[in-house]
Amino acid sequence: MEQPNFALALPVYEEILRKLATVGSFGRMRQILDRMKSSKIEITEGPFLIFIESYGKFELYDEAIGVLDMMENEFGVKPGRSEERRVGKECRSRW
């Protein structure tokens, strides 16, 4: 039964992203992120950190680095030190 005025909150979306991340469902993760944006959910660094960690886990280092651009250019979230450090940590084994 649908409830009027019900909207998912950021923590729920983040949990969905984590579940999808465990199986490497990156396309679906991106769809969720786009849905958050279209639903006017205030997006913070959290969802992007989930992407970075997941890409690192699957050794998709270029994609992990690309998250920083996606954050700022597509979602207006300026990457901070924590995101930059996380990318470095996840990609360290590459170099």
Q: Give the tens place of pLDDT for each residue, 50-60.
A: 999 999 999 99
pTM of the predicted model, to two decimals?
0.83
Confidence of residue 88 (pLDDT cuts 50, 70, 90): confident
**Per-residue confidence (pLDDT) for residue 36, from 0 to 100:** 94
DSSP characters over 9-70: -HHHHHHHHHHHHHTT-HHHHHHHHHHHHHTT----SHHHHHHHHHHHHTT-HHHHHHHHHH
